Amino acid sequence: MTKENQLTFNRFVSMISRCGQIYFDRELAHLNIGSGQIRILRALDLSDGVNQEHIRLIFHLDKGTVAKSIKPLIREGYIRREKNLDDKRAYRIFLTDKGREIMPMLKQTVQNWAEVLTSGFTTREKEAANDLLSRMSQNARDHISSRTSNRPGESSK
């Protein structure tokens, strides 16, 4: 890939990410949910009761980012935190009934954005795009995980 193509590629990835943040922030403003909190709610929908460290690791976030993302969700009543009985220093996070009630709408909003992104794509193109993005995501995770970091709150695993 030429230097010019790399710059274009990175610009497109950045543009899609930023537009997605704007889209989700607008669509979910009435729920007081920001784009950065969607992944936490969806993770809890799949695996309720995980600890903050688990969320940090699966999304490659630092501890402060996880804590900042969780606080408004607690305040809005979408999730609750409980001390982990096995590790008194850690917290487990659970969806509340209110959190479970919004999940269908949240999933639909995510699906709508995927449809915006793939508008005009054939089924084969959608599958190819999904496969390529999945592989790129895995490459990114593998690369980050293989590096050691001196930054607080990050893990090399």
Determine, yes or no, domain membership for 157: no
Residue 155: which residues within 8 A CB-CB, separation 6 or more?
56, 57, 149
Note down pLDDT in tens along the chain; length 157 residues. Answer: 566 666 688 899 999 999 999 999 999 999 999 998 999 999 999 999 998 888 988 888 888 999 899 999 999 999 999 988 887 778 899 999 999 999 999 999 999 999 999 999 999 999 999 999 999 999 988 898 887 454 555 444 4
Instruction: Give the C-alpha separation, 106 to 39, whole Å.
Output: 10
Is residue 123 a part of any domain in this protein? Answer: no
What is the domain range of residue 87? 37-117
For the domain that residue 57 is a member of, what is the CATH number?
1.10.10.10
Structural domain count, the chain: 1
The reply to whether 156 falls in a domain is: no
Show the 3-state SS of the chain: CCHHHHHHHHHHHHHHHHHHHHHHHHHCHHHCCCHHHHHHHHHHHHCCCCEHHHHHHHHCCCHHHHHHHHHHHHHCCCEEEEECCCCCCCEEEEECHHHHHHHHHHHHHHHHHHHHHCCCCCHHHHHHHHHHHHHHHHHHHHHHHHCCCCCCCCCCC
Degrees to nearest 5, angle at CA 51 with 77 and 147: 125
Is 79 inside a domain boundary? yes
Taking the model in full, what pTM does it have?
A: 0.80
